[in-house]
Amino acid sequence: MLRTVLLLLLALAQTACPSPASVAIRRAEALKKLLEVFGMEDPPAPPTHFKQPPQYMVDLFNTVANADGVTKNPDILEGNTVRSFLEKTHSEEMRFLFVLSSVAKNEKILTAELHLFRLWPRVTDGPKRQHFCQVNVYQVLEKDKPDTPGGKKLLAARLVSLQTSGWEVFAITPAVHDWTEDESSNQGLLVTVQSRGGSPLDPPPLQFASGRGHHESKKPMLVLFTDDGRRGASLPTAGSPDLTSQTSDLPAKMPVPKPGRSRSTRSLGRLQPCQRHPLSVDFEEIGWSGWIISPRGYNAFHCKGSCPFPLGENMRPTNHATVQSIINALKLSEGVSSPCCVPDKLFSINLLYFDDDENVVLKQYDDMVAGSCGCH
């Protein structure tokens, strides 16, 4: 699929004097196929106003990927998707509700985390000043009766320091499993603060930033690590397009072209061996910069060149390609072509983007960059 898209984009760039209608049709076809590669039917609508992505998601992208989006280590992420959701109710109480409608039915929930920003504690005087308090996170089962015995379920509890401020992360995976299986069961979360002994504290010495009255960078956030089951195919060793077919009948050497000849004529000067060539994908140029945060584009590379007999080690041939090359060179069987120049190593890339609900998503896509080329 990706190879088809990149060839379409490359053809658009190399077509001499195409008609505007032809360019528009082929561009639409290429972009549609590129969206399919990214698992989308339509591109998400850009945010209605400038929106800063959560710093956690930006830091996670920089940990997982290089600046051009290429994965540094494929084992860093659990699954291939990370979704962030900001709290929507803006409640002053420690009740939090997250809308998860953008989670696809086929996504497997691996881990769910509640991220809360701990404010500087209220100063209390006297010898009984607390250094720690206990924070409890509950799944609300009864919206109007969360304090009744069956109105909530404990998800996480731990001691939190009263000496500093910063982010606290609580695991709430069971609740999100319930919400994704039955959307109507999502009654939100309740957070309470107690003394180390379990006694209520009124007023509580510890508070977390809410959606109201605090900067957006400190809003409560739900982070989901999921997997949509999409995996890259095995390395392309068969059925690959022969990028040298149009020049395979040319002699190995041709006269040096004179100045002023067209690019297509100049390119026939020498049949280059199989090697990797740049292939830039610019998201701004194709109109996607409004919803893609990072990267702004990437170099997919493509493989092009001849696989002449005899195949040297520098062409990284498979044993099958070596045999095919011999059969082709000696004309031992009719209809056997020379091996093809194709990627023999592929890398994944990562996109950080806004979805249709303006939530920030980090997604990893397999087999998006040709790492090296060989004759197969």
CA distance 197 to 204: 14
Burial label for 242, CB within 10 Å (0-12, 13-18, 19+), is: middle
Residue 209 in any domain: the answer is yes
Find the domain containing 279 and state its range. 275-375
Q: Are residues 223 and 280 in the same domain?
A: no
Q: Are residues 221 and 91 in the same domain?
A: yes
Cis before 200? omega within 30: no
Q: Are residues 201 and 281 in the same domain?
A: no
The CATH number of residue 148's host domain is 2.60.310.10
Confidence of residue 12 (pLDDT cuts 50, 70, 90): low
Structure confidence at residue 189 (pLDDT): 94
Rounded mean pLDDT of 100-115?
A: 93
Measured N-to-C along each axis, helices 2-14 and 20-37 cross at an angle, to the nearest 10 degrees, of 160
Q: Are residues 220 and 280 in the same domain?
A: no
Q: Are residues 220 and 102 in the same domain?
A: yes
Task: Please state the domain count of the chain.
Answer: 2
Q: Are residues 199 and 312 in the same domain?
A: no
Mean pLDDT across the chain: 80
% residues pLDDT > 70 (the chain): 80
Residue 194 in any domain: the answer is yes
Q: Are residues 87 and 143 in the same domain?
A: yes
Summarised one tens digit per residue, pLDDT across range 293-324 is: 999 999 999 999 888 887 777 777 777 777 78
Q: Helix, strand or coil for residue 41?
A: coil
Confidence of residue 264 (pLDDT cuts 50, 70, 90): very low
Q: Which 8-state DSSP code applies to residue 356? A: T
- The residue whose two tokens read 């401020």 is 165
Q: Output the pTM of the full model.
A: 0.79
Q: Given 227, 252, 287, which residue is the final one in a domain? A: 227
